[in-house]
Structure 1
Amino acid sequence: MKEDQQSLLGRRGLLRLAACVGAAATVHVLTADPAGTPVAPAGRTPAAGPPQAGPPQAAPPLRPSAYRLRPMTAGAPPGLAAARPPVRRKPFLRMDAPGRTMVLTFDDGPDPRYTPDILKTLRRYDVRAMFFLCGEMAVDNPDLLREMADDGHVIGNHSWSHPLIPKLTRSRIRDQLGSTSEVIEKTVGAPPRWYRAPYGAWNRASFEIGADLGMEPLGWTLDTLDWTEPGTATILGRVRRGAGPGVVVLSHDAGGNRSQSVRALRGYLPELLDRGYRITVPHA
């Protein structure tokens, strides 16, 4: 497992700088647009190596088997068809809620070296967050998924191996998202209702397939850039300056050395609460 993680981290480092792009325009959670044009990358996170150049090549199926399509059914009266989420053309970037409300999100995990400390800090302050998981990490750490669910956190889909989604065929996008949803559902008993594209790189196919799998797309408003390991004080400063009503914060609990992210959370979370912010999670 350690060798596999080291290999994964090395591959992810190759695209870090290449994937840096501007943030997308702000969209409120309750007012996202219907299907339309493809969306260019809106951010960057540590990721797997770049797709191969040239014509698409046949790829082995991801494990486990292809995801069984199950639209969202929570709260639906018996006998009524489940509602399929609308196909968006932009991800949600903000949370539309009254008061000083913020959302904390963590990508790329779970990682047994850092995720438990993040969960411990959130539990200490009775705060819920969102975790966007990579399937290849989730499948090896089911206990952490169950701990997230037991604590009331929202578990989201961040693809299987963190590829650049617009470079994939539709079938491979479905494999990436579907196989990750299957691992999450088998582990915690419910499929994810939110997903986030690696690097913030969305396209029409990802919005359509995400909706087919019963998920809504979520981006972010405030990027801590913790994946660059800029130092705990720098991460703290970015959160302090960027905090505001409706803000969605992007951090990481895997994909590299995340000890700075762990320490920064211990610093800014109580500060945000003292400033009157309510840390919560959206609901699909």
Structure 2
Amino acid sequence: MSHRPGHRPPAWALVPPAVLAAAHIVPAATWLPGLRLRCFPSLAGTGRPGHVALTFDDGPDPASTPRFLDALDRLDVRATFFVLGEQVVRHPEVVRETVRRGHEVAVHGWSHDRPWLPSPVRDRREVARAAAAVRETTGRSPRWYRPPYGILTSGRWAAARSAGLRPVLWTAWARDWTAEATPASVRSTATASLRGGGTLLLHDTDLVSAPGCWHATLAALPGIVAACREAGLGVGPLAEHATS
């Protein structure tokens, strides 16, 4: 690599590619539940002991998200929806209805891609673009960011902080994105590891999951909420979760 006389290359250009790659991907080890819960409880979404944060990823989807909004109304529960910017632009009316019903809208990125290669400029641009889409559609500034697949690289962490967003993953999931998911499996998987102070990951769409899998999640939702309430736990959005 040559440079003009008197022109100093940026510091990152002098770093070996292997080091750059490691710095990019190593933070994604927080995807591992045990490590995240032990070492990064705030990132895991650990909140006040008497509460469970209910979160949904990958929408909005006009075919399924309204069904979840209706179910949550019947249960008298509010949740946090992590939305994709490209879907917000396509279906702004669904996002506005989500807010009108009292739910929280957060950022899941612009598209649902895997960030294997470092691209900090792209990360910053796309996270900011998604946050702007939420803000312009809802009239409210989003607070939270959850990267697709829960892969929080250094670039995406920096992009979230630059956009004024707080990264948060989850303490429990339901494996509701698989073709094998049933209402019973979604409920049992969700409640098996869900405790007071936990954040539950669910999906309100099959846009990047097995076709039709959202039906199992929707059917399991009343049982999940009932199990939390029977354990004396409140259920609500991250805004009420008081993560440390």
Residues 125, 251 of structure 1: alpha-carbon distance in 2 compared, 3 angstrom cutoff: same
Match of 2:201 in 1: 250
Match of 1:282 in 2: 238
Q: CA deviation at 1:240?
A: 2.5
How do 1:163-202 and structure 2 match up within 5 A? 163-202=113-152
**What CA distance in whole angstroms lies between the structure 1 residues aligned with 2:61 and 2:30?**
25
SS, match of residue 56 in structure 2? strand
2:209 paired with 1:263: no
CA root-mean-square deviation: 2.0
Match of 1:227 in 2: 177
**What CA distance in whole angstroms lies between the structure 2 residues aligned with 1:166 and 1:194?**
22
Of 46, 63, 87, the match for 1:95: 46
Q: CA deviation at 1:188?
A: 0.4
**What CA distance in whole angstroms lies between the structure 2 residues aligned with 1:245 and 1:205?**
31
Cα deviation per residue 1:174-197 (whole Å; 9 max; x = unaligned)? 222111111111110122110001
Letter in 2 for 1:265: L
The runs of 5 or more residues in structure 1 that have no matched partner are 1-36, 44-88
Match of 1:40 in 2: 29
Q: CA deviation at 1:90?
A: 8.4
2:189 paired with 1:238: yes
* TM-score, normalised relative to structure 2: 0.76
SS, match of residue 205 in structure 1? helix
Of 143, 150, 156, the match for 2:93: 143
**What CA distance in whole angstroms lies between the structure 1 residues aligned with 2:234 and 2:110?**
31
**What CA distance in whole angstroms lies between the structure 2 residues aligned with 1:182 and 1:162?**
17
**What CA distance in whole angstroms lies between the structure 2 residues aligned with 1:176 and 1:241?**
35
SS, match of residue 82 in structure 2? strand
Letter in 2 for 1:233: A
Aligned residues of 1:165 and 1:197 also touching (Cα < 8 A)? no
Letter in 1 for 2:148: P
How do 1:20-99 and structure 2 match up within 5 A? 38-40=27-29, 42=31, 92-97=43-48, 99=49
Letter in 2 for 1:272: C
SS, match of residue 106 in structure 1? strand
Aligned residues of 2:106 and 2:143 also touching (Cα < 8 A)? yes
**What CA distance in whole angstroms lies between the structure 2 residues aligned with 1:115 and 1:218?**
21
Q: CA deviation at 1:127?
A: 1.2
**What CA distance in whole angstroms lies between the structure 1 residues aligned with 2:107 and 2:81?**
8
* TM-score, normalised relative to structure 1: 0.66
Match of 1:209 in 2: 159
**What CA distance in whole angstroms lies between the structure 1 residues aligned with 2:44 and 2:232?**
21
Q: Which structure has greater helix proportion?
A: 2
Q: CA deviation at 1:239?
A: 2.0
SS, match of residue 92 in structure 1? helix
Letter in 2 for 1:175: R
Aligned residues of 1:129 and 1:154 also touching (Cα < 8 A)? yes
Aligned residues of 2:118 and 2:155 also touching (Cα < 8 A)? no
Letter in 1 for 2:226: P
Match of 1:10 in 2: none
Match of 2:62 in 1: 112
